[in-house]
Amino acid sequence: MSTLAQREETGSPRFEGSPPADGIPFKGNPPLLSDRNPAHSDDLTLADRCSSPPQLIQVFSELGVEGLLVEYEDMFPYGGELQLLQATAQPAYSREDLLLLQDCARSAGLEVIPLVQTFGHMEFVLKHQSMLHLREVPHCLGTLNPHKEEAVKVVLEMLRQVVELHPGVRTLHIGADEVYLLGEGEDSRRWLASPGRTVEQLFLDHVTKVARAVKEAWPHVTVIMWDDMMREMSGETLKACGLVGLVQPMLWDYNPNLDVEQTVSLLEKYSGAGLSELWAASCFKGSTAVDTCVTCTQSHVDNHLQWLKVAASVSAAVNLKGIAITGWQRYDHLSVLCELMPVALPSLASCLQTLIHGHFGHEAGSRVKELLGVSSVEVEAMERTAADDTRFPGRRLAESIVEISFLLNSEELRFFENNKYAAALQQKAAAVREEMLRFYPDATAQEWMEEHVGPVMTPIQRIMEEIGACVNTQ
């Protein structure tokens, strides 16, 4: 099976840094993977300058990543009528950026798999005034109205531009997860009023239309899609839906306590319905909590241990092609930034070694420490260093984030019992911002500080100013 790394950082999708997104670095041959193990990176509106693409991709390759599952969202350089989709808070990637990324990946032996949302999680498209009429319901930014011919044209044009900027692409992910409120729009209600029509059919009709269009335009391209909207469907419904032979479902579950029996049952159902080529999707960052700053390696390793149990339990009829090790930068386009890539590298390395060894013991842990030059697989427990290390891009930033997170969660600071904590927080905040600017655009650094430091720092500064005013009036 193969291992893909996926997406991470910005304000839109889910791969860390857009060219190389930060949540899924660009998301062995672990026992769970049969030919590819891609790492996923989701840009979600945040271009990652975290070292040059060659250095970061080389690190991924050395860690055991075999491909990059990249979700660009609004960091892709869309042109023509779709140019309005490009991020405005910071420049989107240029065409040259993305060609360089692919060249670097190719040199390292990694396949680049673009991920383009085509149904749900369309916030970066449907937030625009000129696209409001393409929503399923007015108050939901994420779900496309599948009845609008213009909506389908927008999706197909997005796919065309992405594929054309990925010459030689072999695999394309069309998303289609979490299609919230489908069936509740006026057009859908009218459509569903006809006897025998269901929301399941409505979903399947749209993704089948998109998948067929992809195969007609690029017959050589393999199409992957998320599976969650099909989990409650019967085997008979799936068998008759038209997706058989068109798509390869990717089952995602990031829970450290993943239900092995239930997941095996799902895989067997899909396979029995003719969807026999399947993928798994685990997670190395961005799934613990919406505003988590520091990655917990153990939690993500546990998720991979559960996936190994799944792989060992399925029948021979299930062709589990690989696992995408996803790394999310945001929960959705409008959410705050999750863990940045540097704090998650030990987790990614540990998850890969778990798959390669089939467990996570002393040998796997030692290999992670050797590969990254660290004393612990938990970023919070690593010995601090004054210098950066080419084996661990962004190490000083990771250490600074750990330190400021400790201060932000300090009881002494929150109850303002000791002024030295306030002073330490101010100093550390300045240091984190300075270090972050080495890797990320100013807009990203500013957003991170406002979201994670501002809620604590601002009230303290106000109190200190009031205390100073009182002292000066005496």
354-392 pLDDT, tens digit each: 999 999 999 999 999 999 999 999 998 998 776 667 789
pLDDT at 156 over 60: yes
From CA 449, how far away is CA 113, in angstroms rounded?
32
Q: How many percent of the chain have pLDDT more than 90?
A: 67
Helix, coil or strand: residue 74? helix
Q: Check the CA dihedral 55-59-65-71 and report its sign.
A: negative
And the tokens for 452? 């994670």
Give Cα 400 to chain centroid, integer Å: 23
Candidate ranges 43-47, 151-155, 390-394; pick with highest mean pLDDT? 151-155
Those residues whose C-beta lies under 8 Å from the C-beta of residue 308, and which sit 6 or more positions away, are 31, 32, 354, 355, 358, 359
Q: How many percent of the chain have pLDDT more than 70?
A: 83
Helix, coil or strand: residue 136? coil
Q: Identify whether the C-beta of residue 6 lies closer than 8 Å to the C-beta of residue 69.
A: yes
Radius of gyration of the chain (CA): 23
Apex 127 CA angle, 82 and 7, nearest 5: 75
Residue numbers annotated as active site: 178
pLDDT band at 18 (very low <50, low <70, confident <90, very high): very low
Stated as kind and residue range, the H or E segment containing 435 is helix 419-436
Stated as kind and residue range, the H or E segment containing 324 is strand 319-327
How many other CB atoms sit within 10 Å of the CB of residue 288? 18
So what's the pLDDT on residue 319? 96
pLDDT at 213 over 70: yes
From CA 143, how far away is CA 141, in angstroms rounded?
6
**Whose CA is closest to 37, among 367, 356, 363, 369?**
356
From CA 337, how far away is CA 353, in angstroms rounded?
26
Average predicted confidence (pLDDT) for the chain: 86
Apex 88 CA angle, 14 and 340, nearest 5: 35
Per-residue model confidence as pLDDT tens digits over 304-360: 999 999 999 999 999 999 999 999 988 888 888 889 999 999 999 999 999 999 999
pLDDT at 144 over 60: yes
From CA 470, how far away is CA 262, in angstroms rounded?
63
- Higher confidence at residue 454 or residue 353? 353
pLDDT at 45 over 50: no
So what's the pLDDT on residue 133? 98
Amino acid in position 214: V
Strand runs (DSSP E) across 8-51, as ranges? 37-42
196-227 burial, b for 16+ CB within 10 Å, e for fewer? eeeebbbbbbbbbbbbebbbeebeeebbbbbb
> Helix 53-63 vs helix 95-107: angle between axes, to the nearest 10 degrees?
30
Helix, coil or strand: residue 286? coil
396-433 burial, b for 16+ CB within 10 Å, e for fewer? bbbbbbbbbbebbebeebeeeeeeebbebbbebbeebb
So what's the pLDDT on residue 4? 64
Q: Identify whether the C-beta of residue 267 lies closer than 8 Å to the C-beta of residue 275.
A: no
The structural domains of the chain, ordered by start, are: 2-376 (3.20.20.80), 410-473 (no CATH)
143-156 burial, b for 16+ CB within 10 Å, e for fewer? bbbbbbeebbebbb
Please give, one letter per residue, the 3-state secondary structure of 233-276: CCHHHHHCCCCCCCEEEEEECCCCCCCHHHHHHHHHHHHHCCCC
